[in-house]
Amino acid sequence: MIEIKRPVILAIMQNQWFPEHHIERIEEMYLEKPDKRNWYIRYFLFQGCLTGKRLLSTLGDGYCWNHIIWEEAHPKIGNKPSANFGYDIDHIQAAIDKHKPDLIICFGATARKGVDNALVQKVFLNQDGMGVDVYFAPHPANRDNPVKGLKELKIWLDKYVEQKGLIVCEN
């Protein structure tokens, strides 16, 4: 029997930001429907910001909209693009526990440090009881031209999915 498995890929970004007048309502949305948190993050990410545009142009719709679960290194929402609250290790560990990913992609130094520390403190297993793979990528809005690194991620991700025997369907 052939098993077709959809990959569980968890992407950790730095933290979200919105204009000040939207933050309170977005925080309320997360509190009202905590099970929709990752859906909201994905939805907001791909509404036209630089980060979302670069991710879509390099990784494509299939990965961005259908196969990557989007999360933040810190749940706090900033009011400008440069906002950085560091990482919240409990938040990261809860996301890994919840989703049991095959792969974690860390976008940027904040996410990398947070995931590194989360993995040092606890052993995480994916849905099949195996260890979790980690890939470190540049933050898509990095000023040092991250597009090359994001394209390298796409090539690596395609090979990873193929080697693991996982199926990724493009729309």
- Over residues 121-138, the mean pLDDT reads 86
**pLDDT value, residue 1:** 53
Residue 120 vs residue 23, higher pLDDT: 23
Average pLDDT score over the chain: 91
Q: Which residues of 20-57 are buried (b: 16+ CB within 10 A; e: fewer)?
A: eeebeeeeeeeeeeeeebbeebbebbbeebebbebbbe
- At residue 103 the predicted structure's pLDDT band, cuts being 50, 70 and 90, is very high
The model's pTM is 0.92
Q: For domain 9-163, which architecture applies? A: 3-Layer(aba) Sandwich (3.40)
Count of residues for the chain?
171
Report the distance separating Cα 83 and Cα 92, nearest Å. Answer: 18
- Over residues 5-33, the mean pLDDT reads 94
Q: Above pLDDT 70, what percent of the chain? A: 93
- Over residues 122-150, the mean pLDDT reads 89
Which two three-digit tokens encode residue 129? Answer: 């009881």
Which two three-digit tokens encode residue 32? Answer: 């009202």
The residue type at 144? D
Q: SS in 3 state form for the chain?
A: CCCCCCCCEEEEECCCECCHHHHHHHHHHHHHCHHHHHHHHHHHHCCCCHHHHHHHHHHHHHHHHHHEEEEECCCCCECCCCCCCCCCHHHHHHHHHHHCCCEEEEECHHHHHHHHHHHHHCCCECCCCCECEEEEECCCCCCCCCHHHHHHHHHHHHHHHHHCCCCCCCC
Segment 110-122, tens digit of pLDDT: 999 999 999 888 8
